Amino acid sequence: MAPPGLHYKVKLSSGRILGPLDLLRIRLLIQKNQIIGTEIAREYPAGDWKDINLIPKIAEMLIAHASGVLKGRLFPFGGEREDFVQTELLPEAAVAVSISSEELEPTSVMSGFSAEVPSMAEESHKITPQVEDDEETATQLVPSGEAGRTASLVSLDHEDLEPTAVIDRMVGPPKQRISEERTVVFQRPVNPIQALSRKKLGSRSVLQWLIIVITIGVIAQDFLAPKENRGEKIGPIRPQLPAYSEGKTDPTQSAKAYAEAMPFYLADHVVGYRRASEKFLQAANFDINNVKALALLASCYLNLIDSSNKDENYFSTVLKLIEMSRAKVVDLPETVVADAEYYMTVNRAESAQIRVVEYTKLHRNFDPIMFYYLAFAFYQRGDARSAATFIAKFPDDKIFSPKVYYLRGLISEKLGDESTAIEEYKKAIRLNKDHMRSRLRITELLNSAGVLEQAAPELEAITHKPTFLSPRELARAYYLHAQLLRNAKKWDLALADIERAVKLEKGNSDYLLELYTLRAKSGESLKSVQKEARMYFFLGEGQRQLKEGNHQEALSYFLQARHVNIDSHLPLVKIGDMFFYLNDIANARMNYEIAAKKVPTNIEVWSKYINVLILSFDWEEAQKAMERFRMLPVSQSAIDKAAGDMYGKQGRHREAQAYYKKAMARDIIDPEVYIAYARSLMVTKNYKEAPSFLTLSLERQSVSLHLSLLSARSRC
């Protein structure tokens, strides 16, 4: 039994420190999404700061909240009851960072560059957090005039990251070292034609240069062409380690493959990262000592995480690549990039900041890419003003990729400057017309302004090259395109697009509502389908009530949908979902069973039915259903997950985890398996690995559906 009165202090990602808090108060904060798993914490009064996910009791609650079961008992996955001591929440205290331009200039690299942030009003005074000591319980805002020149990056456990320490770290002692040599990675690509004008060349040399330029252009066009336009099958991305053979090193070929990868990497879209990952892997295969290739291969996989099937080895492979790049002694910007992107992928933006600052402390002439990642980390932590300060320090003439303009646009949006944001996104598109994420953000802003029709060119460009976006982004684009078509009263085309969006992201209530509305609209004029249209009308109204949190009203509409069309399985599934949410397992089972009998080969419906059989301890019926689907050409990942759930319910967690791993190894993955596996790891006290799969569980979509859809489109 835990010690009575056990308390913790929790440091939020904003830098604010809460506590001391008892476990009951922490649970309430988790339920209100004020503690989300990205924080650090320590036992009070004498514990050390650590990742909050490494504290077992708190980690259990985070997993429970993510899976929607943190409602009753404090520890849904087992454990003894705690003695609680009520605590009071501390007053809200915001934390901001302000660093003047002259404090943070790298030598020579930044000369002549203005740090002015476009369209951002100056603050009336600068404020900075004071670092907490063992007795303080809250951060405090101090005007910079009183505290002197103070600005800091908040660290995990570095009390020395005071304002002046940040400057000292970023402008370290001038020592020339290999890692300070210019890197070809983060430089704006040189225009060969401009290079010709800088030196006098003979006609033969000019001809050779022109042939090279044309050849590179043809190759790049071939590589960057979307695969679905060429009829190729789009397979899932799975991280790979280099297949290095001893004694077969070829540094020349490695350097060549690395150089070929860079244009694709800098394009900053899904197709580019896929092609870059292939080339970086090839470069590492030729030479395992190519540190840059190892680091940027890891970076590619991290940027493709939303477009990949994530199995149990996803993060371990990425971390292995990063460790291999670190093991070569030289600390290059590419390694820092991989580290920073990994930390931000697992929601540890503060660690990313520390990594960047530590690097700049040791490297006087650091690459301006460090400003990008500092800005990105501040943006992820919700501090848009500090993010704007750092991104403004990135010189325009050094911008190498549309992702810099894209981040500028995101920051401007956060600061409420939509017009500047649109201009930044347009700059990204001018740098690379295939930067579809910028086109999507422009569309979102125009839609918010009530002028979605002005975004028609952007949406047409996106839907013409769908592989350039991740599945979730593409689903959003189809949803917006469906709205555009609906406004033009092109009902059938709008319905086709919203169906694509729902296939890509099935759990999105906005997409389901639009789907039911359009299906009702498309059938109201045809007498033969009026019954089905009325069903979709009631389903849409029920979905609208569900979105607003009115569960009983939603259930009432779903029952009406069932009444007007007793032949369809859809109302039964929605009714079953509602009873399941209300913890009425018996009624949920009854409705799922009737629905399953209506669609005997629908794995999605049967997965719900098998799940309630397991929760009802009906192992025999669940096993029969699973064996039946093993013989059908359907997604086996859902069946593997169901088998894992059954073994988990029986307390046989080793067998359960084996089936979860098997489910994650499939080409088509049930996204629910990530959180199921994380919960199983928590039960077996594997607290080190569980947070990674909790991160993956936040991605609530099946990437393989995206791949299947695009492959189907390529065959049309």
The pLDDT tens digits of the residues spanning 203-225 come to 555 445 555 544 455 444 444 44
Residue 593 CB neighbour total at 10 angstroms: 18
Q: Which of 239-243, 252-256, 278-282, 484-488 has the lowest mean pLDDT?
A: 239-243
Both structure tokens of 452: 């979605």
Q: Give the integer Cα–Cα distance in Å for 595 and 606.
A: 8
Q: Is 51 helix (H, G, I), strand (E, B) or coil?
A: strand
Mean pLDDT of 121-137: 36
In this model, does residue 265 exceed pLDDT 70? yes
Question: What confidence score (pLDDT) does residue 478 get?
Answer: 96
In this model, does residue 226 exceed pLDDT 70? no
Q: Are 9 and 42 in contact (CB under 8 A)?
A: yes
- Read off the pLDDT of residues 351-368 as tens digits, 9 standing for 90 and up: 999 999 999 988 888 889
- Read off the pLDDT of residues 435-459 as tens digits, 9 standing for 90 and up: 999 999 999 999 999 999 999 999 9
Backbone angles phi, psi at 38, to 5 degrees: -100, 5
329: confidence class by pLDDT, cuts 50, 70, 90: low
For residue 179, give every residue at least 6 positions away whose Cβ sits within 8 Å of its Cβ, in sequence order, or none: 330, 331, 332, 333, 363
Q: Give the integer Cα–Cα distance in Å for 591 and 611.
A: 13
Question: What confidence score (pLDDT) does residue 483 get?
Answer: 94
Backbone angles phi, psi at 117, to 5 degrees: -95, 120
In this model, does residue 410 exceed pLDDT 80? yes
Long-range contacts, 691-695 (Cβ 8 Å, 24+): 691/37, 691/51, 691/53, 691/59, 691/346, 692/315, 692/346, 693/312, 694/37, 694/53, 694/62, 694/63, 694/66, 695/345, 695/346, 695/347
Q: Which of 86-90, 336-340, 470-474 has the lowest mean pLDDT?
A: 86-90
Q: Which of 73-77, 435-439, 489-493, 549-553 has the lowest mean pLDDT?
A: 73-77
In this model, does residue 298 exceed pLDDT 90? yes
Q: Give the integer Cα–Cα distance in Å for 663 and 612.
A: 19
Between residues 229 and 330, the one the model is more confident about: 330
Mean pLDDT of 612-636: 83
Q: Are 336 and 356 in contact (CB under 8 A)?
A: yes
Q: Percent of the chain, pLDDT > 90?
A: 33
In this model, does residue 285 exceed pLDDT 90? yes
Mean pLDDT of 277-284: 95
164-173, 209-218, 381-390, range with greatest mean pLDDT: 381-390
Q: Which of 108-112, 291-295, 405-409 has the lowest mean pLDDT?
A: 108-112
280: confidence class by pLDDT, cuts 50, 70, 90: very high
Q: Percent of the chain, pLDDT > 70?
A: 68
pTM: 0.62
601: confidence class by pLDDT, cuts 50, 70, 90: confident
Mean pLDDT of 36-49: 84
Residue 375: which of 383, 366, 367 has the closest Cα?
383
Question: What confidence score (pLDDT) does residue 399 get?
Answer: 92
Angle among Cα 422, 111, 187 to the nearest 5 degrees reads 60
Question: What confidence score (pLDDT) does residue 714 get?
Answer: 39
Residue 168: which of 390, 360, 350, 394 has the closest Cα?
360
Mean pLDDT of 240-250: 81
Both structure tokens of 220: 């790049």
Question: What confidence score (pLDDT) does residue 696 get?
Answer: 62
In this model, does residue 515 exceed pLDDT 70? yes
Question: What confidence score (pLDDT) does residue 82 get?
Answer: 38
- Alpha-carbon torsion (368, 254, 322, 702), positive or negative: positive
Question: What confidence score (pLDDT) does residue 510 get?
Answer: 87
Q: Which of 212-221, 481-490, 627-636, 650-659 has the lowest mean pLDDT?
A: 212-221
Give per-residue burial for 125-161: e unless 16+ CB within 10 Å, then b.
Answer: ebbbbbbbeeeeeebeeeebeeeeebbbbbbeebeeb
Q: Which of 80-84, 343-347, 712-716 has the lowest mean pLDDT?
A: 80-84
Between residues 554 and 670, the one the model is more confident about: 554
Question: What confidence score (pLDDT) does residue 233 get?
Answer: 45
487: confidence class by pLDDT, cuts 50, 70, 90: very high
187: confidence class by pLDDT, cuts 50, 70, 90: low
Q: Which of 137-141, 429-433, 524-528 has the lowest mean pLDDT?
A: 137-141
- Read off the pLDDT of residues 534-546 as tens digits, 9 standing for 90 and up: 888 888 899 889 8
Question: What confidence score (pLDDT) does residue 392 get?
Answer: 94
Residue 499 CB neighbour total at 10 angstroms: 17
Question: What confidence score (pLDDT) does residue 422 get?
Answer: 96
Question: What confidence score (pLDDT) does residue 306 get?
Answer: 82
Residue 419 CB neighbour total at 10 angstroms: 12
Q: Give the integer Cα–Cα distance in Å for 593 and 82.
A: 40
Question: What confidence score (pLDDT) does residue 67 get?
Answer: 65
Residue 56: which of 638, 685, 715 has the closest Cα?
685
Question: What confidence score (pLDDT) does residue 4 get?
Answer: 56
Give per-residue burial for 469-498: e unless 16+ CB within 10 Å, then b.
Answer: bbbbbbbbbbbbbbbbbbeeeebeebbebb
669: confidence class by pLDDT, cuts 50, 70, 90: low
Between residues 131 and 209, the one the model is more confident about: 209
Residue 393 is classified by DSSP as T
In this model, does residue 246 exceed pLDDT 60? yes
Between residues 214 and 392, the one the model is more confident about: 392
678: confidence class by pLDDT, cuts 50, 70, 90: confident
Q: Give the integer Cα–Cα distance in Å for 712 and 467.
A: 13
